Amino acid sequence: MSALPQTATERVLTVDRLTIDLPSKGAPIRVVDGVDLRVDQGQVLGIAGESGSGKTMTALALLGLLPPGAVTGGRTDFLGKELLQLTTKQWRATRGDEIGVVFQDPMTALHPMLSIERQLTEHVRRHLDLSRHDARDKAVELLRRVQLPDPVGSLRSYPHQFSGGMRQRIAIAVALACDPQLLIADEPTTALDVTVQAGVLRLLKELCESIGLAVIVVTHDLGVMSTVADDLSVFYAGRIVESGPTRQLLQGPRHPYTRGLLDSLPHPERPDQPLVPIDGAPATPANRPSGCALHPRCAWAEPSCSQQEPELVMVAPGRLSACPVDPFDGGER
């Protein structure tokens, strides 16, 4: 799907063997275990998973926002910078400047008592050192870029005067204020109505293409992934179980977990087909089953699955799966 050739100069972020340990009463809990990610300019990478899969922790690690006491391992390369080693002070210059972020709920991401102008210009003036007048022009341009109707008039308004979708657009404008190279969007449309969702996703996709922004979208919603993500990594219990180009991955999942997730969704063309949920509840990092973490819930599990952790290996060009079986052979989607 990527229109750009993958050369070293266009790679924005590389993550190698990322691990995150969170402190607990007993031994630290490994919530993310050996995650590799690649994001190129102008590309959307999707990180999919259920709660406890480590998807949000991975995003927080890339923003320097992990809870106190968290220990990280592995390597990152964000345009030559090692993110995992940044000090608090260095993070202040990076987060919001080179890496923008959009959260799920735009009402809590925006300050309810400050005008839109203040929220946009404060940010721009701090990071880009612009005059008040230039900052205002920049704010109008940002609001225009996120396709807010009446950008000039909106500057004097407050967040509560906008609908959820418009607020999320303003939150995106704030995230883009300092021309970041990477945008991390954590469940950007989960709090929005379906009718508004499409508009925000379209905007993200357009921004990505028009200004060559690299975007990481974190969500459990595979429908969202299908529309915006070029590549997709599916997380389960802190590890990537499958990754590859979104279209191939959703049309022919190779890992039983991805297959299970898709089977539990209503089929677009066969509404009478029953929903087939994955049995049981997601594994939590605190009690991760031995071997393959999915084995207690997996329809394809064999005795050896409870002993040996399968490696994430290439199963087709560009496709990685951490399972030797091919559930797509067992039936079609």
Range in contact with other proteins (rule: CB under 8 A) among 16-24, 32-40, 87-95, 164-172: 164-172
Q: Which residues pair with 284 in a beta bridge?
A: 287
Which residue, 82 or 193, is less far from other proteins as judged by CB? Answer: 193
Could you give the string, one character per residue 264-303, with x where binding to other proteins holds by CB under 8 A and - elsewhere?
A: xxx-x--x--xxxxx--xx---------------------
Which residue, 172 or 225, is less far from other proteins as judged by CB? Answer: 225
Q: Which of 77, 98, 91, 96 is nearest to 13 (CA)?
A: 77
Q: Which of 149, 183, 182, 181 is nearest to 163 (CA)?
A: 149
Would strands 214-219 and 44-48 be described as parallel, antiparallel, or unpaired?
Answer: parallel
Q: Examine residue 217 and tell whether it contacts other proteins (CB under 8 A).
A: no
Q: What gap in Å lies between CA 174 and CA 252, rounded to an integer?
A: 37
Q: Examine residue 202 and tell whether it contacts other proteins (CB under 8 A).
A: yes
For residue 141, how many C-alpha atoms fall within 13 Å in the half-sphere facing its CB? 12
Q: Examine residue 224 and tell whether it contacts other proteins (CB under 8 A).
A: yes
Q: Examine residue 50 and tell whether it contacts other proteins (CB under 8 A).
A: yes
Q: Examine residue 198 and tell whether it contacts other proteins (CB under 8 A).
A: yes
**Burial (CB count within 10 angstroms: exposed 0-12, middle 13-18, buried 19+), residue 301:** middle
Range in contact with other proteins (rule: CB under 8 A) among 15-23, 64-72, 200-208, 306-314: 200-208
Instruction: Looking at the chain, list the stretches that DSSP marks H as alpha helix, in order from N- to C-terminal side.
Output: 55-61, 88-94, 106-109, 116-128, 132-145, 151-154, 164-176, 194-210, 222-228, 246-251, 256-263
Which residue, 279 or 311, is less far from other proteins as judged by CB? Answer: 279
Interface contacts to other proteins, rule CB under 8 A: 1, 50-51, 163-166, 193-199, 201-202, 205, 220-227, 246-251, 260-262, 264-266, 268, 271, 274-278, 281-282
